[in-house]
Structure 1
Amino acid sequence: MGRKVIVTPHDPVWTEQYKTEAARLTSVFQPILVAIHHFGSTAIPGINAKPVIDILIVVKDITAVIHLIDPMAQQGYLSKGEKGISGRHYFRKGSDAHHTHHVHVYEENHPEIARHLNFRDYLRHHPEDAIVYSQLKEHLAQTHYSDPAAYTDSKSTFIRNIDLKARLWRQAQVEPS
């Protein structure tokens, strides 16, 4: 039985799960760690999400992550390499059918860092768009219950639109008119 797409209402426990895992990961990444962030839907209060904690780790040197594969395995993580995104190292925790945590590691200044954090922060500050995203996720989870790739692909247009809004919103915050 393959992975199923299940979204649930927001659970405040996700923040505590992130904090617990972040403390463990901080000890693994400490020599090269710049920052660690909770991102993705579990980091946005009030929206439906797959109950998988997404963690973004910023490091000084992405090539040094290769030396952390064994320590990450000791924490229950499987290294998946770049997994389609150049300059990223991706780790997954959990079984093939049930992931509990995803860790995305980037070297500081990689553009995906800002994109992920802008998306999260924008939806935290724009509940009307967060609700639309939540409803879309619920609909797509029902439509693509047995096809996680189709679920993800079907969100891409909405995500690109929010990415643009989020980038403009962030620029306005940095450079007020």
Structure 2
Amino acid sequence: MERVVPYDPGWAEAFIVEADALRAALQPLAVTLHHMGSTAVRGLPAKPIIGILGVVDCLDALDPASGRLTDLGYEAMGAFGIEGRRYFRKTRTEGVRTHHLHVYQDGSPQIPRHLAFRDYLRAFPERAAAYGALKIAIVSGDHPPGTTYAEAKAGMVTLLKAEAAA
């Protein structure tokens, strides 16, 4: 069962702390890190998992450094279904997921797509509120039987992404 909680202002600080740890672990590899996803949008209810978007000059240079991310508690998932991405997830020992790290090579079309979605929701709080209300309704059981959380919100996510791109 998915868990969506009210916005936590501590998520911004949690991102900063984790970004500092990631930069230190990946040295000398240059990486730009962005807070992404619902935890990056003030006031938006979210699954309490910090989303991080990493940008590197060369994705292949990240692969040898993956072990250092493992030392920070991340699990390397490879492309995980998205070509041109390296995906990592961090889970506490009791099984609670805390962070998602998506790393792309500079120039990937995925980078502006993720940032545009975040920035759109930040700029249009009424759209963020509608998205948040949908997420709360879904986890409260208001969705078609047999659909997952992601499937139930997919239509709105597609609409918001189109609005963000426009």
Select the residue among 20, 24, 38 that pairs with 1:23: 20
Q: CA deviation at 1:140?
A: 1.3
Q: How many Å separate the matches in 2 of 1:142 and 1:67? A: 42
SS in 1 for 2:47: coil
Asked if residue 61 in structure 1 is aligned to residue 58 in structure 2, the reply is: yes
Greater CA drift, 91-100 or 154-163: 91-100
Structure 2: state its 5+ residue gaps. none
Q: Would you tell me which structure has more helix in proportion to its own residues?
A: 1
Structure 1 gaps of 5+ residues are 169-177
Identity %: 40
Partner residue in 1 for 2:141: 143
After superposition, the C-alpha distances for 1:73-106 in whole angstroms (9 at most, x for unaligned) are 1000000111111100000000584210000000
Paired residues, number: 163
2:76 aligned with 1:51, yes or no? no
The 8 Å contact of residues 37 and 51 in structure 2, kept in 1 or not, is answered as yes
Report runs of 4+ in structure 1 exceeding 2 Å deviation.
28-34, 142-145
Q: Does 1:156 align with 2:117?
A: no
Aligned partner (choices 98, 101, 125) of residue 99 of structure 2: 101
Partner of 1:143: helix, strand, or coil? coil
Report the TM-score when normalising by structure 1.
Answer: 0.86
Looking at structure 2, the residues matched to 97 and 143 of structure 1 have their Cα atoms a distance apart, in angstroms, of 23
Aligned CA-pair RMSD: 2.0
Which whole-Å deviations, capped at 9, do the CAs of 1:129-163 have from their partners, x for residues lacking one?
A: 00000001111122289xxx811122221111111
Amino acid at match of 1:79: A
The answer to whether the aligner puts 1:116 opposite 2:108 as a matched pair is no
- Give the number of the structure with larger relative contact order, counting CA–CA contacts within 8 Å between residues 6 or more apart: 1
Amino acid at match of 2:55: V
